[in-house]
Each structure stands twice: as structure tokens, then as C-alpha cells.
Amino acid sequence: MIDQRVGFCNIDQAAYTKAMPPTEFVTSPISYVRLHGRNPQDWSHEFDRPEKPVARHDYLYGTNELTEWRDRIERMRQFSAFTFVFLNNDIGGKSVVNAIQLAELLGDDRHNAPTELVRKYPMELAGLRTDRPTQPYLFAA
């Protein structure tokens, strides 16, 4: 793959029988990471259809887990022109919360977060500003 410059997707997912362990391969000028969450219940229905819908990727990464990925991402960045990180744990805005946390761990110093997320996740987003003006409604009430 390296000789062909084909990009590799480094993923994080729940540990289950067919899960790939976390990696930090760089096989092209672009480093690519996808964080899906580690909720094993989401992956237990991989091949069957559950009676009720499963909230896939309903997982909030902890600081220790994000720090592990920060270290991997920093190593990958040394060997790539561009680095892309996508968070797919989108239930309840968790991907945005974890993206803000990961950005801070990687040196982002803006320290801003949407007001509603800070209200919903006060511990995870403690110390962030919400001083941007907000528009409460799309259209006038």
C-alpha cells in the first residue's frame, strides 16, 4: 500500500471478535482517522437485525481515550501533509463534544463551545467560553 500511496483509515471501535485494534498507519500524504466509539452493544448486532433500532455509535470518549488518540495523531502528523480526524459517535452531540476536547488536546486554544453543549456536558466542557452571540431561533417567533 505504501508504494501505491493508497490511504489507510485508522479506526477506533468497540472491541469485538472482528474488530481491528487501533492503528496509526500513514500510507499516503494524508493521515485519516475515524473514531466510532467503543460501546460494545452497538456492535453486537452487526449481522442480525435487532427487534428495536440500536443507537449506533452512542459513546462519549473519556479524556484518557482521547489522549491515546492525540498521541497517535501527533505521530501520524509528522509523516503526512494533511491529517483528517472524523468522529462518528454522533448521538446527542457527543462527536462535537469529543471533537472540541480532542482539538484542545492537540493545541487548539480557542476554548469556545456551543452554549447548549456546555449546558448538556458541563463536566466535559468545563472552562470553555460560550460568549459567542447565539441566535435562539432560525425565524422570529
59/140 Cα distance (integer angstroms): 35
The model's pLDDT over 64-82, given as tens digits with 9 standing for 90+, comes to 999 999 999 999 999 999 9
User: In terms of C-beta density within 10 A (0-12 exposed, 13-18 middle, 19 or more buried), how is residue 24 classed?
Assistant: middle
112/93 Cα distance (integer angstroms): 15
Domains in the chain, start-ordered, CATH in brackets? 9-120 (3.20.20.410)
Lowest-confidence range among 13-22, 106-115, 119-128? 13-22
pLDDT reading at 42 higher than 80: no
pLDDT reading at 122 higher than 90: yes
> Given strand 9-12, what is the order of strands in its sheet?
9-12, 30-35, 82-87
**φ and ψ at 129, to 5 degrees?**
-85, 150
pLDDT the model gives residue 78: 96
Could you give the 3-state DSSP secondary structure of residue 101?
Answer: helix
Q: What is the pTM assigned to this prediction?
A: 0.82
